[in-house]
């Protein structure tokens, strides 16, 4: 099982809510969320971030766009992946600064598991704590899977699942959720 699939299954189990796949990306020039499955077929393809790995939509209208990574071991590839995650988080922060009406209803979660992710957490916290992001940083989670559930519960106002549950409705998700 791919780590992303494992993480997604645990999110569903721990929150009691579906975590649907999505093609939503951030345009790095306009800082808009865009539903785009194949950006590199477009001339401006490099303007788009990677897609979010999932989205959780809660009954109260709150949406959490989720970025999943499991980065283990040292090396150039791992360093590049973490640097890309850092840039992706910058895009999330700028999206919130540019789209202030979405603050509190659009949240981002960067779930980074693995020893290298853990070792780099200080760099991500540094980014979140820069003065220019003070008003939006609480709308972004960065950390491991186990602490995501508290963030999701606190920000959505929805209690998380007490027990693992089955979710046959996951296939019924609106996987291409639009803003």
Contact partners, residue 10, CB within 8 Å, separation at least 6: 145
Widest distance between CA atoms in the chain: 47
Give the up-direction half-sphere exposure of residue 148: CA atoms within 13 A in the CB hemisphere. 28
> What is the token pair recorded at 174?
């609106």
Per residue in 46-58, pLDDT (tens digit) is 999 999 999 999 9
- Give kind and range of the element (H or E) at residue 112: strand 106-113
pTM above 0.75, yes or no: yes
Burial class (CB in 10 A: 0-12, 13-18, 19+), 6: middle
> Which alpha helices (H) appear in the chain, and where do they start and end?
3-15, 76-98, 115-128, 145-156
Burial of 69 (0-12, 13-18, 19+ CB in 10 A): buried
Mean pLDDT of 61-84: 92
List the one residue out of 93, 149, 151, 84 whose CA is nearest residue 117. 84
**Which tens digits make up the pLDDT trace of 94-152?**
999 999 999 999 999 999 999 999 999 999 999 999 999 999 999 999 999 999 999 99
Let me know: does 134 contact 127? Beta carbons within 8 Å.
no
Domains belonging to the chain, first-starting first, are 3-172 (3.40.580)
């Amino acid at each position: 099982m791919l780590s992303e699939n494992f993480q997604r299954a645990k999110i569903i189990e721990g929150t009691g809510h579906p975590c649907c796949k999505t093609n939503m990306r951030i345009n790095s020039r306009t800082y808009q969320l865009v539903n785009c499955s194949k950006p590199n077929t477009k001339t401006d393809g490099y303007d788009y971030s990677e897609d979010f790995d999932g989205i959780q939509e809660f009954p109260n209208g709150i949406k959490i766009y989720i970025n999943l990574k499991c980065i283990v071991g040292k090396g150039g590839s791992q360093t590049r992946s973490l640097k890309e995650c850092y840039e992706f988080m910058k895009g999330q922060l700028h999206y919130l600064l540019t789209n202030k009406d979405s603050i509190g209803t659009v949240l981002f979660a960067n779930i980074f598991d693995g020893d290298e992710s853990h070792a780099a957490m200080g760099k991500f916290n540094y980014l979140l704590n820069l003065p220019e992001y003070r008003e939006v940083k609480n709308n972004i989670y960065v950390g491991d899977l186990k602490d995501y559930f508290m963030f999701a519960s606190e920000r959505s106002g929805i209690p998380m699942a007490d027990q693992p549950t089955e979710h046959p409705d996951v296939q019924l998700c609106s996987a291409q959720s639009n803003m």
